Structure 1
Amino acid sequence: MGAQGSKILTQKREFSDESCSQMTKIDENPHESPTVTADRAAALTLSLDVQTALRSHLPSVAEHAVAAIIVEVPVYAAARSFMVDNIEAAVQMALGSFLTLAARSGDASTPLRPAQRGSYELGRGEARSGRSVDALLAAYRVGARVSWRQLSAVAVEAGMDASQLAQFAELVFAYIDELSAASVAGHADELETSERLQRQHRDRLALELLRGASEEVLLRRLDRARWEKPSTITALLTRETELHGIRGLVDPRSLVLAEDLPDVTAEENTAALLVPDLSPGARTKLLRAIGTRPVVVGPTRPWLLTAGSYRRALRAHRLLRDAGSGAQAAYDTERHLADLVRAADPEALADLRRMALAPLDDLTEVAREKLEETLRLWLLHRGRREAVAEALFVHQQTVRYRVGQLRDLFGDDLDDPDVVRDLVIALG
């Protein structure tokens, strides 16, 4: 964009910091000259003949500027008739304010304020319409070029001399710079506002998914969040401090919630990611990519049942925490289902252990520990003494002796499938 573009971007940054409050300041301080444009206007004196000639040509200048914009800026090429009318009205307003600015004596800032405000709102409108700031600046450049060409020709024909023409040119492009900066600021503010609202809606959607809200509520949240409905969702839990690194590994569409997680306190430092449509192959790759990062990966569930994936991931998170280890690497709940089942009801598990292992109650602590471990491995290895001996680092005869003790204690119950099931769970 060259020097003019640099000026526009500099002024854009100035506007973007507090552009809305800047509009308020302009209204509240009518005698304050806010820009160099007003200074340039105050230094220029236009004769009545020049003013009359310029104003009479405004409709024609606006029409030619809009026609050039429609042709030269691709995004406006398919503009509908009402859009063309809106653009032409905006151009006429800007040019009218400019001529008022150029013709005034004394305070030149007054006609500039509504033009700035109008340009700011124009930028917001363009952002809402989905048009980029590049298209907006291109329209300004084309409009400025066409308008200057016609206005300068009219001014010279009406008697403006070369010295005044130079001042007139400086005023034209300073004016365009300031309107461009206001529009860019409006565009940026609208995008920021829209993005902030979208983030809020998506946070709300994520929270409702984790809570297990009704389909009606979730569909309404989905629409407000402008989030494409997935087939499935997989819940991931990690520490908030790890969130940034994990987000880069998952689908960019993933929802993120780092506050107000259901059944989680702020002290737990936990964040959730809801990953859409995670296929089995993608899940494997994700677990590999997570590596040593502390992440718990829940099961993949239909999107309306996201809460189920979250609850299981949360149970796994709590299981690891209660074990005193926490997630030190990717923890796939699908590979630890037995552990999660056993941990689902700690009191029931304790009662099962007490009843199933009651025959060992009269043993010493050391003897009980040895027989429990032998019984666990004997059940898991389906009675193969060689495998049990290898796992225990003892002789096969030692295994034979201990199994004999167990049969004396349990009797025929070791051949009862229900008892064997209970023992496997109890000793898991």
Structure 2
Amino acid sequence: MATVGPRERVSQGVLLPAESAEAIRAHLPSVADDVVAAIIAEIPGYEDDLGGRMGSTIRTAVQMALGGFLSLASGRRGSDPRTPTAPAVEGAYALGRGEARSGRSTAALLSAYRIGARVSWREMSGVAVASGLDAAQTASFAELVFAYIDELSASSVAGHDDELATAGRAREQLRERLARHLLDEAPAETVTLAAEEAGWAPPSTLTALVVPSPQVRPVLSALPPGTLAVTDVAGLDDAAVLLVPDCHGSARSTTLGRVADRGVVAGPARPWTDVRRSVDRARRAHALGLGGDTEEHLEQLVLTADPEALADLRARALAPLADLKPAAVEKLTATLRSWLLHQGRREDVAADLFVHPQTVRYRLQQLRELYGEDLEDPATVLRLVIALGALP
């Protein structure tokens, strides 16, 4: 009769003789204890967790996983001992999720699996050889043990990743809800509760940024981790609103400098519960086509706060020019604006307008004839400065 080799025995669902499997199974409780002890000794941070309920859970999981493997390797028909059973896979997956919730990385988890595989194999192989397992069977047994452990570790990593992704999405949703409450000026108690639920520590101030939609991700990566985001704001089809914590004082220029080339419009820093004021200013500057820091555009923002009132003021201020031809109005308006801004310095006005000083003198004479003594009246001068200050 032909001898059946180890790999053929695997394909038939049999690797271990019944006596070897039973001998190993009898030692599984001590194997699980040794695995836990080795993990505690070799991986910092596991001492406390594995000493209590978690340790008991790990011992049970090890016994279940290796017990399932032994069942497969010793004769479950049609089964591949390299592939864990559903309960073992589900247990490993749950373990990975639990590790993520505990704040540990996959590095610690995979180290624990490597240690577990090493200790398990050392213990089980010794028992198997003592029970009569030959060299070829022992080699195949080793290969399948480590393949089986690899499958379990992959399931745990998948659980870890899924838990982080789920927690990340939940946190993002809670933080977006908080941001919407802030934009909607919800009651203080509603906003405070939303911040607590989102695990978000309120800063001293928040600063609103209006960011072009394609730039949201790179801008977020350059901002503090507590930044809140709302990507679908009514009236901002092409942009999102980000709320940046503590972007005031010396931190403002540093923070905005990181995103200076991203088309960002930054509102002023405001107390965090009053950030809607910052949002409104940033949105208005965005609508006016003003980029960068709105602190650098305050004059323009003030002068354009009420466009209809500004148009009425300008019409009243320039009434003495109403009967002139458009070309003359344009020249005299530009001269009057420059004269006001340069405080009457004729040479500076000429340089500003790229004309001869004598031309400036002639135009100013025309303006004095049109306005008369009103050009010396502070109220008229103020009206003209406001009316003409918003012109490009």
User: Which interval holds the TM-score relative to the shorter structure?
Assistant: 0.7 to 0.9
- The equivalences for 1:142-157 within 5 A come to 142-157=115-130
1:350 Cα shift?
A: 0.9
- Aligned pair in 2 of structure 1 residues 304, 404: CA closer, same or farther (>3 Å)? same
In 1, are the aligned partners of 2:247 and 2:255 still within 8 Å (CA)? no
Could you say what secondary structure the match of 2:275 adopts?
helix
Bigger drift between 135-144 and 202-211 goes to 202-211
CA contact (8 A) 1:123 1:184 kept: yes
Report the equivalent of 2:329. Answer: 368
Match in the other structure for 2:269 = 300
Task: Give me the whole-angstrom Cα distance separating, in 1, the residues matched to 2:58 and 2:300.
Answer: 66
Q: Percentage identity across aligned positions? A: 54
2: CA distance, partners of 1:370 / 1:92: 93
Residue pairs, 1:238-387, within 5 angstroms: 238-257=211-230, 259-265=231-237, 269-288=238-257, 290=259, 292-320=261-289, 331-387=292-348
CA distance in 2, matches of 1:411, 1:298: 43
C-alpha offsets along residues 159-189 of structure 1, whole Å, 9 cap, x if unaligned? 4343433333233222212111111111122
- Is the 1:232–1:277 Cα contact (8 Å) retained in structure 2? yes
1:90 aligned onto 2:61: yes
Give the CA RMSD over aligned residues. 2.8
The 1:98/1:105 distance shift into structure 2, 3 A limit, reads closer
Assess if the C-alpha contact under 8 Å between 2:208 and 2:269 holds in 1: yes
- Give, in whole Å, the separation in 2 of the partners of 1:167 and 1:218: 62
Q: 2:23 aligns with which of 50, 53, 60?
A: 53
Mapping of 1:110-259 within 5 angstroms?
Answer: 112-257=85-230, 259=231
Shift in Å, 1:294: 2.5
Residue 310 of structure 1, CA deviation: 1.8
Q: Which amino acid aligns with 1:300?
A: A
- For residue 419 of structure 1, what is the aligned residue in structure 2? 380
1:74 aligns with 2:47: no
In 2 relative to 1, CA 409–76 (structure 1 residues): closer, same or farther, beyond 3 Å?
A: same
Q: 1:271 to 1:334 in 2, by over 3 A?
A: same
Quick one: structure 1 residues 346 and 146, their matched pair in 2 at CA, closer, same or farther if it must change by over 3 Å? Answer: same
Question: Structure 2: which amino acid aligns with 1:302?
Answer: P
User: Is the CA contact 1:389–1:399 (under 8 Å) kept in the aligned structure 2?
Assistant: yes
Q: Give 1:260 deviation, angstroms.
A: 0.9
Q: Secondary structure at the match of 2:193?
A: helix
- Distance (Å, rounded) in 1 between the aligned partners of 2:380 and 2:374: 6
Distance in 1 (alpha carbons) for counterparts of 2:274 and 2:44 = 45
Counterpart contact for 2:12–2:78, Cα < 8 Å: no
Q: Which moved more, 1:60-69 or 1:98-107?
A: 98-107
| Equivalent pair of 2:260/2:292 in contact (CA under 8 Å) | no
1:104 to 75, 96, 104: 75
CA deviation string 1:81-133 (max 9, x = no partner):
12222222222222322233233331336971211111111111111111111
Larger deviation, residues 104-113 vs 412-421: 104-113
Gaps of 5+ in 2: 1-6
SS at structure 2 position matched to 1:299: strand
Pair 1:121–1:385, CA change in 2 (3 A): same
The offset of 1:300, in angstroms, is: 1.8
C-alpha separation in 2, matches of 1:134 and 1:337: 52
Distance in 1 between residues matched to 2:108 and 2:175, nearest whole Å: 29
Q: State the distance in 1 between where 2:10 and 2:165 align.
A: 32
Show the counterpart of 1:7: none
Query: Aligned with 1:75: secondary structure?
Result: coil
CA contact (8 A) 1:41 1:171 kept: no
TM value normalised by structure 2: 0.86
Q: CA deviation at 1:307?
A: 1.9
Secondary structure of 1:336's aligned partner:
helix
Deviation at 1:398, TM superposition (A): 4.2
Aligned with residue 391 of structure 1, among 338, 342, 352:
352
Distance 1:251 1:120 in 2: 33
Structure-to-structure mapping, 1:14-33, within 5 angstroms:
none
- Give the Cα separation in 2 of the matches to 1:62 and 1:313: 61
Distance 1:237 1:218 in 2: 21
Please state whether the residue corresponding to 1:312 is helix, strand or coil.
helix
Conserved 8 A contact 2:113-2:153: yes
